[in-house]
Amino acid sequence: MDQPSESSGSSHPPLAAAALRADARIAEGRRLIAEAVADHSRAVQGVQPANPDLAEPYETLLSRLADTRGGPPFWPYLSSGLGQGPFVELADGSIKLDFIGGIGVHGAGHSHAAMVDAAIDAALEDTVMQGNLQQHPPSINMSERLIQWARTGGAAIDHCLLSTSGAMANENALKIALHHKFPADRIIAFDNAFAGRSLAMAALTDRPHYRMGLPLVLNVDYLPFRDSANPERSQRWAVDELHRLLSRHPGRYAAFWAEPIAGEGGYYPGSHDFFRALCEPLREAGVPVIFDEVQSFSRTSKPYAFQHYGLDEFADIVTVGKITQVCATLYGEALKPKASILSQTFTGSSSSIATGLKMLDLLESGDCFGTEGQNVQRHDYFAAHLSSLHEKYPALIGGPFGEGMMIAFTPGDGSADHAKKLMMTMYDVGLLGFVCGSLPTRIRFLPPPATTTFEHIDAAVALLETSLIQFSQQIV
């Protein structure tokens, strides 16, 4: 933070916090921690099986987890707390190649020196959490940078509200739109949409079993998403359906909410033409457009996928999360609420804000963006290898699908059973990917954009091939 200069004539001493941060003991402490983390994380390179001696204590931990959370986790992952790049050590002593990263959260992989250092910096803050009555300058920096990045292609984004989850970022987005369009109360979304797990997001999310037994607190109508295999036909269907909805409920729509790339729904990319054909009539009807970038942020040729598809003029409200460590809702001045409908005790932890800022630095310095940027190059490289596996094992793997650093394939017959079988085989072999979509169910990868190398992709492809061979024996 800027200090008053000598010549300012101020009688105030420098900030005590600035003196703390400049203290040589802090610098030495950070240096020693960085050295220790580097020394120990060097051991976490390359996949290795679990240590049999740790099998029993690991099982005990898992059953305690199942007891406390009211059921077993989706898979038996418990981190030891150390990793290196995409490699992570689990508490059973195994090392996995993590190409799912908590579903897109660990954008620099595990135990990244700069992320650890940013977290130490945050630990020196006077409070663990930031929020409503407890804001600090890094919150402003994070908000300003997200706004600045969003505006580079001309999007009318002026404001940013930090929050602690993607669901909350979407709650705030819908509140802004509903408030602006009151008394309009309907939302348009896509088939297979996923927006989070709050009550409102359970109504918006297009998964019957995620809203089972819950009241439908939002009126949502769904459009079919783009199908890359039939782009023109799927676009025509979506546009026709949109017109039907707009004329069935004139003036009743408060927002169109869309993931530019369908994430949980199965890694279906959007396109400029598809979204433009929908956004133009929506704009004419005065319906605000919300782009949910909780999963897609940072994974394409531009920071935001709406920029990747050249949709800047339509981005009225944007939500981000996951890789940004702290989540956010961005919106334009025209949509600024006229009442105090937005506020939270917690907008994020000091640590998530500090590491979120560092993540943005790493994405920039990692040359992730641009038509020739790393995201595009790694996608092409990975996709070519997945295509080769498809040619070699056409009955075992279909695809690839997705965009940039969101990449997926269809296992076996595309059933949920085959996808889960292969995912767990991959887990045992040492490669972490995760299911998405239904009819077909796919397995997706979200490799860390800031640190993935071609060698990491080679390692993933080799582990996938081993897994496919084992999987073929399970499904005969």
The nearest distance, CB 195 to ligand PLP, in angstroms, is 5
How many Å apart are CA 451 and CA 400, to the nearest integer? Answer: 22
Closer to ligand PLP by Cβ: residue 167 or 354: 167
C-beta of 263 vs 288, nearer to ligand PLP: 263
Burial environment of residue 127 by CB neighbours within 10 A (0 to 12, 13 to 18, 19 or more): exposed
Please state, in angstroms and rounded to a whole number, the distance separating the CA atoms of residues 14 and 3. 6
Smallest separation, CB 458 to ligand PLP (Å): 28
DSSP symbol at 3 = P
CB burial string 427-440: b at 16+ within 10 A, e below: bebbbbbbbbbbeb
Residue 221: how many CB atoms within 10 A of its CB?
17
Question: 269 with 261: CB under 8 angstroms?
Answer: yes
In 3D space, the residue among 111, 102, 86 whose CA is nearest the CA of residue 456 turns out to be 86
* Nearest Cα to Cα of residue 132 among 175, 95, 162: 162
- In the complex with ligand PLP, the residue whose CB is nearer, 267 or 274, is 267
How many angstroms from the chain centroid is the CA of residue 145? Answer: 17
Instruction: Name the residue nearer to ligand PLP (CB basis): 196 or 288.
Output: 196
Q: Which amino acid is at 141?
A: N
User: Cβ of residue 425: shortest distance to ligand PLP, in angstroms?
Assistant: 24
Ranked by CB distance to ligand PLP, the top (closest) residue is: 166
Region of 220 please: left (phi>0), alpha (psi -120 to 50) or beta.
beta
Give the DSSP H or E segment for 34: helix 24-41
- We find the least distance from the C-beta atom of residue 263 to ligand PLP, in angstroms, to be 4
Q: Which is nearer to ligand PLP, 290 or 464 (CB)?
A: 290
User: Could you tell me the smallest distance in angstroms from the CB atom of residue 265 to ligand PLP?
Assistant: 9
Interaction site with ligand PLP (CB under 6 A): 103, 165-167, 170, 194-196, 259, 263-264, 292, 294-295, 321
- The two structure tokens encoding residue 50: 């679990």
The CA distance from 68 to 62, in Å, is: 10
For the bound state, the minimum distance from the C-beta of residue 205 to ligand PLP, rounded and expressed in Å, comes to: 9
Which helix (H) or strand (E) element contains residue 135?
A: none
Nearest to 460 by CA among 399, 405, 385, 409: 385
Q: 41 or 164: whose CB is closer to ligand PLP?
A: 164
> Given the complex with ligand PLP, which of 265 and 366 has the nearer CB atom?
265
**Residue 320 or 459: which CB sits closer to ligand PLP?**
320
Query: Which CB atom, from 115 or from 167, has the smaller least distance to ligand PLP?
Result: 167
CB of 15 to ligand PLP, least distance (A): 34
Minimum CB distance to ligand PLP, residue 404 (Å)? 15
> Closer to ligand PLP at the Cβ: 278 or 320?
320
Min. distance of Cβ 462 from ligand PLP in angstroms? 28
Q: In this structure, what is the dihedral angle of CA atoms 151, 154, 155, 157, given to the nearest 10 degrees?
A: 50
Amino acid in position 407: I
Distance CA(302)–CA(373), nearest Å, equals 9
User: In angstroms, what is the minimal distance from the CB of 324 to ligand PLP?
Assistant: 10
**Phi, psi (5° rounding) for residue 234?**
-65, -35
Tell me the three state secondary structure of residue 71.
Answer: coil
Q: How far is the CB of 327 from ligand PLP (least distance, A)?
A: 6
- Amino acid at residue number 206: D
For ligand PLP, which is the closer residue by CB, 168 or 459? 168
